[in-house]
Chain A
Amino acid sequence: MSLPILVFVLLALSVAGYVLGRGRAMASAGGDARKLHSLPNYYGWFGFLVALLPAALVLLLWLPAQSVVIDTQVSAMISDRSAAESSRGLVMSDVERVAEGLDLAVDAGVLTEEQAASIRTEFTDVRERLGEVGVALGSDVTSETLQAAQRYRALSSTGDLLRTLAVVAAALAGLAFVYRRADSTFRARNAVEAVVRWILILAASIAILTTVGIILSLIFNTVEFFSLYPAWDFFFGLTWSPSFGGGSELGILPLLWATLYISFIALAVSVPIGLFAAIYLSEYAGPAVRAVAKPLLEVLAGIPTIVYGLFALLTVGPLLVDIFGDGGVLGVGWMGGGTAVMTAGLVMGIMLIPFVSSLSDDIINAVPQAMRDGSLGLGATHSETVKQVILPAALPGIVGAILLAGSRAIGETMIVVLGAGAAARLSLNPFEAMTTVTAKIVSQLTGDADFASPEALVAFALGMTLFVITLGLNVIALYIVRKYREQYE
């Protein structure tokens, strides 16, 4: 039975479990729902879950186990000689393609099941026969590959049969359990709620496990990179000039410098504007202004960063050249082209304004009204109250918001790719093109990258460095917010 059909059957059995659970419970209560421990639907859901979950678990465990078992068995058939010519993995993928081709051929009626199992390279041109049903093979099928493929098919079909039996058996066992347990005294509500709690726990742990997985994959690749390239040169090298031919210099400092430089400009733009906007919105704006202005400001946060990148490339860059470039308004000639640290920094700053203002606005609003009353009651003006009572009280939260915005800026990619240029250089001039860690990760991994070379693996080391920096910023932000959070009560 194929997988989709099996899943469908399993769902049908679960629905049967629902009907069974509910029906059994109602029957044991003589049709009077008031005599049940739980509402009738809880018995239904109990039946549904007991039929579904163990069988689904069996299925989930079976799928990877079956492919591992078959792989080991089949790959044992491949002689070391042919495995030596190309890698064992490539031979195995050939085997899988041939097996797949045979499946298709049988489905299309070109071959009967017996023919597919007994076909021999000695008598038939298998490549041609498979080509007829639309499976293209790169090379002629060797006898060994074909035999392996046939074995693969045989094992798969046995495996699929056993899988179907196991899953259906688990579901039926579940149904039997429901049949025995679902009576009026059974606490179905508690059972269902316990299951729901475990589902919630599972959802929470998936997020955590994913993070752990990401970190691990970064760590392994980073370690591999450092076995190919000296860590000292990576962290303290002043030149970034990768070349896939060899002899690359992969120093992170120019990239890190540009990253921090651009982030600094972005924060210099977004923090004052965002903070002032937040103060205006939370302290001075009337309800009507607030109702319009706050959503408008937050629309900025919904714009995809690639659109900001276009804005940088097409509008802000040329505008800056008109002012600071050769023959520009100021006549200073500082700027050669539209892509520059300043371009990316300004646009990223605009992107971060709603981020800063929205968080700060929430924090300022969280300062209790009693603080404002206390200050106003002493004869302070509104402005004095904001400056000397509200902002100091909200400061830890605002610092946290700024650090969070900073880690967004450091991780930002598209605006940099389009706005800052591609040249890695160490320079103080903000009107020069530079490139950041994130942009280089993209360029090192796009195209035909060979994942064994330090030029590609460096992307993971760069990613790891960024990860550590932003993680550090977030930890500091949380620490500051926690430590200095005012106890208003």
Chain B
Amino acid sequence: MNEMPVVDAEAGTLLPKISAKKVQVFYGETHAIKDVDLNIADRTVTAFIGPSGCGKSTFLRCLNRMNDTIDICRVEGDIRIDGEDIYDPKVDPVQLRAKVGMVFQKPNPFPKSIYDNIAYGPRIHGLSRSKADLDEIVANSLQKAGLYEEVKDRLDEPGTGLSGGQQQRLCIARAIAVSPEVILMDEPCSALDPIATAKIEELIDELRENYTIVIVTHSMQQAARVSQRTAFFHLGNLVEEGETKEIFTNPTDRRTQDYITGRFG
């Protein structure tokens, strides 16, 4: 459906944006992710699919070390972004998260104005030298998130007053504002109606030009519509990963086939 990404991870000639090897995640005694090896290509949309509780969100949260905030969670194995081990003690998870942005399942704008929601990240990281600079970052981010036209006259109104779909695009704009390289999306449309979902999907497709996007989704149609590559998780295992078209038309594993044909999940 879409043209192929500029970097072909399978070919191995260029480094993938993200590479994970033998990743294990434990929540206390529970073994949530088992031995996952996965490469994620640059400027591509990769979808994680699988039944509830299969570990796809957990794995996503490993990629920007959001799991660090959960006390009982332990991550083992090797995850590299641009060849750099992100679990190296030298890496500051705070800086990592500026590089790997995240959009959550439920829109979670801060209880601040629309402007301040977007300006929050740039202010923390000192990305603007002047007010005019900041204004430009805010306007730019809103434009990239396709929200600018709708809110340009009411930037000082609370972000929580927007509709659900607008709030989610605000959260995407907020993530874009700190110029990340990777954007992780954890079921970004599960709380939205079909029209708002369509807008977000369109947006994801546009963002692919500049960002590496990893999206967790429960909707196989969505995975088929927005992603170039798909990874299928089941019970903490990565069952199969490949081109989205291949996964949906010609899965190699029996479990993948069962899932996409709706036999379980």
Contacts and interface: CB of A to CB of B under 8 A. Distances in A.
Interface of A: 286-287, 368, 370-381, 384, 388-389, 392-393, 486-489
A146 B169 CA distance: 93
B23 to A, nearest CB: 20
Contact of B124 (A368, A384, A393, A489): A384
B97 A377 contact: yes
A372 B99 CA distance: 18
Nearest to B123: A388
A384 B98 CA distance: 14
Given A370-B104, A370-B108, A379 B124 contact: yes
Interface string B54-70: 00000000001010010
Contacts of B97: 376-379
Given A371-B110, A373-B104, A378 B66 contact: no
B110 A377 contact: no
Decide if the interface of chain B is mainly helix, strand, loop or mixed: helix
Contacts of A374: 104, 108-110, 171, 174
Given A286-B71, A377-B66, A379-B121, A392 B101 contact: no
Contacts of B124: 378-380, 384, 388
Interface string B2-39: 00000000000000000000000000000000000000
B94 A379 contact: yes
Nearest to A385: B124
B248 to A, nearest CB: 30
B200 interface: no
B77 interface: no
12 contacts: A368-B108, A370-B104, A374-B110, A377-B104, A378-B178, A379-B94, A379-B97, A379-B98, A380-B94, A380-B120, A389-B120, A393-B110
B120 A375 contact: yes
B221 interface: no
A377 B102 contact: yes
Contacts of B106: 370
A348 to B, nearest CB: 33
4 closest pairs, A vs B, by CB? A379-B98, A377-B102, A370-B108, A486-B111
Interface residues of B, number: 28
Contacts of A376: 66, 69, 97
B125 interface: yes
Interface in B40-89: 64, 66, 69, 71
B120 A393 contact: no
B184 to A, nearest CB: 8
B178 A372 contact: no
A377 B160 contact: no
B175 interface: yes
Contact of A371 (B102, B108, B175): B108
With a 10 A CB-CB cut-off, give which of B96, B97, B104 has the most chain A CB atoms.
B97
Nearest to A384: B124
Contacts of B174: 374, 378
Contact of A488 (B69, B71, B111): B111
A371 B64 CA distance: 17
Interface string B101-131: 1101010111110000000110011000000
Contacts of B101: 377-378
A388 B124 CA distance: 10
Given A377-B102, A378-B175, 5 more contacts: A370-B104, A373-B69, A378-B97, A378-B174, A380-B120
Given A378-B121, A379-B97, A373 B66 contact: yes
Contacts of A287: 71
B95 interface: yes
Contacts of A286: 71
A487 B107 CA distance: 13
Contact of A379 (B95, B112, B171): B95
Contacts of A372: 69
Nearest to A393: B111
B216 to A, nearest CB: 14
Nearest to B99: A379
A487 B124 CA distance: 24
B95 to A, nearest CB: 6
A378 B120 contact: yes
B98 A378 contact: yes
B54 to A, nearest CB: 21
Nearest to A487: B160
B260 to A, nearest CB: 30
B178 A379 contact: yes
A371 B121 CA distance: 14
A380 B127 CA distance: 13
Interface string B122-143: 0011000000000000000000
Contacts of B125: 379
A183 B160 CA distance: 58
Nearest to A286: B71
B164 to A, nearest CB: 9
Contacts of A488: 111, 160
Nearest to B69: A376
Nearest to B107: A370
Contact of B111 (A377, A384, A392): A392
Given A487-B160, A488-B160, A375 B110 contact: yes
A110 B71 CA distance: 84
A28 B174 CA distance: 72
Contacts of B66: 373, 376-377
Contacts of B112: 392
Most buried by B among A287, A378, A384, A393: A378
Nearest to A395: B111
B94 A381 contact: yes
Interface string B147-179: 000000000000010000000000100110010
A282 to B, nearest CB: 14
B175 A377 contact: yes
A165 to B, nearest CB: 68
Contact of B110 (A379, A389, A487, A489): A389
A368 B160 CA distance: 13
Interface in B167-208: 171, 174-175, 178
A466 B160 CA distance: 39
A324 to B, nearest CB: 44
Nearest to B121: A378
Q: Indicate the member of B110, B121, B160 with the most A CB atoms within 10 Å.
A: B110
Interface in B222-249: none
Nearest to B174: A378
Contacts of B108: 368, 370-371, 373-374
A486 B120 contact: no
A489 B121 CA distance: 21
A486 B113 CA distance: 12
B8 to A, nearest CB: 29
B225 to A, nearest CB: 25
